[in-house]
Amino acid sequence: MTQVLPASDAAIEEAAQVLRRGGLVAFPTETVYGLGSVATNDRAVARIFQAKQRPAHNPLIVHVADRAAATPLAIWTEAGEALAAAFWPGPLTLVLAREPSAPISPLVTVGLATIALRAPSAPTAQKLLQATLLPLAAPSANPSGQVSPTTAAHVVAGLGDVVDLVIDGGPCSVGVESTVVDVSGEQVRLLRPGGVPREAIEAIVGPLLDSVADGPIQSPGQLESHYAPRAAVRLEALQPAPGEAFLGFGYMIGKGAVAARNLSPTGDLDEAARNLFAMLRQLDDAGVATIAVAPIPQQGLGEAINDRLRRAAAGR
Ligand code: TXA
Ligand code: MG
């Protein structure tokens, strides 16, 4: 069995040792649990791809403690500086041109000229980065294509024995993955909606280009089927059909559903994001053929929630 330790200082010190020896440690960030290895170690990074069965063309995010730790890794731009100043540490990933001399395993960036960087704010992630003093490559700690984990139990359920150590820091406070923006070029491009809402980013750098609408796919991960429960997912449902499970939002008519959850009875999108992945798993565990999901407003974290739900519905 994988070792699971509560996030004490001793556990973080042990995790840092496991990482320095080339091991895999799952740890909580404010978005989702990450599956971390030292980003400078080829063999350790290769183990991440193997553990997740992740397609070899999908690059990893490199986690750093702060902006200063990211200096040797990328060629920084004005937009990158402005967004790091506004949102780091926090749920924002910046894609920048990779610094050619950066000591990062080429497997992390899968041969791209760019690198994705993020400074997480969750205390456990911060302490681990400070204890390790090395950049950590960490995708979400789930088998490729499945729902991301927001608790230590989700990590164990999905990855079981292939992780050397799981640090349990309780449920994630944001609940959806980081927003990924490409700040390497002239204009800032949104590659993945996430924990920092589009509106907050646009308040700093102006209107964002959209990756799919305005150009070629630039984030290889966009290609994968993602966030897919076993059950089919039916979107924009006002109420469940017979035999369906129901995931509501705000006022809901869940009557007749085999199982029902409410993402946020008060219609709070931040609460809905926090509940999204755990509730999808709970409804999936009811063994239904279809999970019907209520309409979710598209503002704030609603854009990230709708993105994940669309991918869940498109899965397989
Ligand atoms: O919140 C998060 O971002 C979590 C936590 C653990 O930090 N991590 C996460 O990683 O969601 P992952 O691997 O599940 O998603 C990373 C996304 C993928 O869509 C990948 O294609 C994209 O970031 N990405 C990574 N490097 C990139 C690059 N150089 N250029 C464009 N996209 C990149
Ligand atoms: Mg993922």
> Which domains occur in the chain, in start order?
3-210 (3.90.870.10), 232-313 (3.40.50.11030)
Q: Rounded distance, CA 243 to CA 198, Å? A: 36
Contacts of 289 (CB under 8 A, 6+ apart): 231, 232, 243, 244
| Cβ proximity of 275 and 301 under 8 Å | no
User: Would you say the CB of residue 184 lies under 6 angstroms from ligand 1?
Assistant: no
The pLDDT value given to residue 121: 98
Closest-CA residue to 304 (of 152, 192, 204): 192
pLDDT value at 143 more than 50:
yes
- Å from CA of 58 to ligand 1 middle: 8
- Å from CA of 9 to ligand 1 middle: 28
User: Would you say the CB of residue 93 lies under 6 angstroms from ligand 1?
Assistant: yes
User: Would you say the CB of residue 112 lies under 6 angstroms from ligand 1?
Assistant: yes
Backbone angles phi, psi at 247, to 5 degrees: -110, 110
pLDDT value at 213 more than 70:
no
Supply 127's token pair. 């302490």
User: Would you say the CB of residue 180 lies under 6 angstroms from ligand 1?
Assistant: yes
The pLDDT value given to residue 247: 97
- Å from CA of 161 to ligand 2 middle: 19
- Å from CA of 40 to ligand 1 middle: 17
pLDDT value at 216 more than 80:
no
Q: Residue range 108-137: average pLDDT? A: 97
255-to-6, 238, 243, 290 alpha-carbon distances in Å: 39, 11, 11, 15
Neighbours of 110 (CB within 10 A): 14
pLDDT value at 217 more than 80:
no
Q: Residue range 206-218: average pLDDT? A: 71
Q: Rounded distance, CA 221 to CA 212, Å? A: 12
User: Would you say the CB of residue 59 lies under 6 angstroms from ligand 1?
Assistant: yes
207-to-165, 187, 203 alpha-carbon distances in Å: 41, 9, 8
Q: How confident is the model at residue 253 (pLDDT cuts 50, 70, 90)?
A: confident
Kindly report the pTM of this predicted structure: 0.96
Torsion of CA 67, 32, 162, 284, to 10 degrees: -160
Q: Which atom of ligand 1 is nearest to the CA of 180?
A: 23
Residues composing the chain: 316
The pLDDT value given to residue 214: 47
Query: Which residues are placed with Cβ below 5 angstroms of ligand 2, an ion?
Result: 140
User: Would you say the CB of residue 139 lies under 6 angstroms from ligand 1?
Assistant: yes
Minimum CA distance residue for ligand 1 atom 33:
219
Closest-CA residue to 35 (of 54, 21, 13, 17): 54
Contacts of 130 (CB under 8 A, 6+ apart): 65
Neighbours of 107 (CB within 10 A): 20
User: Would you say the CB of residue 175 lies under 6 angstroms from ligand 1?
Assistant: no
- Å from CA of 61 to ligand 1 middle: 5
Supply 215's token pair. 């150009």
- Å from CA of 231 to ligand 1 middle: 25
Report helix, strand or coil for 176.
Answer: coil
Q: Residue range 201-206: average pLDDT? A: 98
Minimum CA distance residue for ligand 1 atom 19:
221
- Å from CA of 20 to ligand 2 middle: 23
Torsion of CA 194, 200, 92, 106, to 10 degrees: 100
User: Mean pLDDT in the chain?
Assistant: 94
